[in-house]
Amino acid sequence: MSDIEKLSKVRGFLLDMDGTFYLSDRLLEGALRFIDLLRAQKKEFLFLTNNSSKHRRQYAEKITRLGLPLPEELVLTSGEATALHLQGQKPGAKVFVVGTPSLEEEFRLHGFQLVDKNPDFIVLGFDTTLTYQKLWMLCDFARAGVPYIATHPDFNCPTETGWMPDIGAMIAFVKAATGREPDLVVGKPNRLIVDAAAAKLNLPVERLAMIGDRLYTDIALGQSSGIATILVLSGETKIEDLKDSPFQPNYTFQHLGGVADWLEENA
C-alpha cells in the first residue's frame, strides 16, 4: 500500500499535544482548522500523551482554555492506558503505584486497590511527588519478583525553561539497585498504547495514524504498531534530524494546517 493510500484510509488520528497541537500556552498554526476538518469529514481524533503525572481531565481543561472545548474522554494518557491494560489482566488487583495523586486517582477509578503491602503489580509512573521511601519500597518489591510495569519510557520531560528528569531516570535507578527493568512499558513508542487508543475510538488499529513532533516516540510508534505516522515540524524535530534517524515518517508537514490541506485535497 502506498503512503497516499495508507493515509487516505485513516479514520482516526492520534494527536500528540505539546509541540504538535499547542506550544506552552498557545495553539499552533492550523490546530483548530485541523480539528474542524476532521469533524466535517466525520473522522475521529484522540489526544495522546506519555505524561502520566496528570489526569486526562487536566489536559482537557487546558485545551478547552486554549480554544477547543474538549471532553476528557478525548484524551488518553499512558497512565490510563496502563490501568486499562491491567484491568484486562486482573480486575480489582492490588497495586503499588509510584506516581502522583492524579495517577493514583486513575487507578482507583479503574477499580484497583492501592496498597503498600503484598501487591499483585507495581506500577511506576512519572512521579513529580517522588520520595526516597517510595523508591525504596519499589526496589524491595522489584527484588521480590512482583510484576513491574512502567507507564512510559521517557528520560526527560520538556518544560518552558529546559528539561526535568522523567520516568526513564527512575527506571535507571531501580535497575542500578535491583538489576531489574520493567516487565512491560506501556506508552509511546510501544504498541500497547495504540491498542488502548483503538479500543477507546472503537476503530481497528490499521485505520489509525499518529501525528507528532518527536521521531523517537511519535514516529517510532509506526514501527511498533504498523500505523501511519505524520511528523509535524512545529515542535522538537527539525527537517535535518530526519537524515540520520532510524524512525522515518510516512508524511512530513510544517504544522497541522499542512495536514488539513492534504486531507482537504486527497481524502
Residue 199: predicted pLDDT: 94
The tens-digit pLDDT sequence of the chain (267 residues) is 556 677 888 999 999 998 999 988 889 999 999 999 999 999 999 999 999 999 999 999 999 999 999 999 999 999 999 999 999 999 999 999 999 999 999 999 999 999 999 999 999 999 999 999 999 999 999 999 999 999 999 998 877 677 889 999 999 999 999 999 999 999 999 999 999 999 999 999 999 999 999 999 999 998 899 999 999 999 989 999 999 999 999 999 999 999 999 999 987
Query: For residues 183-211, b (16+ Cβ closer than 10 Å) or e, as one string?
Result: ebbbbbbbbbbbbbbbebbebeeebbbbb
Beta bridge partners, 124, equal 98, 150
Domain ranges of the chain: 3-50+188-266, 89-185
Alpha carbon of 18 to those of 27, 59, 181, 235: distances in Å? 9, 11, 28, 7
Is it true that 3-50+188-266 and 89-185 share their CATH fold? yes
Residue 239: which residues within 8 A CB-CB, separation 6 or more? 233, 252
Q: Domain spanning 3-50+188-266: which superfamily? A: HAD superfamily/HAD-like (3.40.50.1000)
CB burial of residue 135 (10 Å; 0-12, 13-18, 19+): middle
Q: Among 45, 71, 46, which Cα is nearest to 60's? A: 71
Alpha carbon of 143 to those of 99, 130, 178: distances in Å? 19, 19, 6
Q: What is the 3-state secondary structure (H, E, C) of the chain?
A: CCHHHHHHCCCEEEECCECCCEECCEECCCHHHHHHHHHHCCCEEEEEECCCCCCHHHHHHHHHHHCCCCCHHHEEEHHHHHHHHHHHHCCCCEEEEECCHHHHHHHHHCCCEECCCCCCEEEECCCCCCCHHHHHHHHHHHHCCCCEEECCCCCEEEECCEEEECHHHHHHHHHHHHCCCCCEECCCCCHHHHHHHHHHHCCCHHHEEEEECCHHHHHHHHHHHCCEEEEECCCCCCHHHHCCCCCCCCEEECCHHHHHHHHHHHC
Residue 266: predicted pLDDT: 86
Q: How far is CA 131 from its chain centroid?
A: 24
Residue 153: predicted pLDDT: 94
Fold of 89-185: Rossmann fold (3.40.50)
The pair phi, psi for residue 148, each rounded to 5°, is: -125, 120
Residue 195 near residue 76, CB atoms below 8 Å: no
Q: Among 94, 162, 151, 163, which Cα is nearest to 127's? A: 151
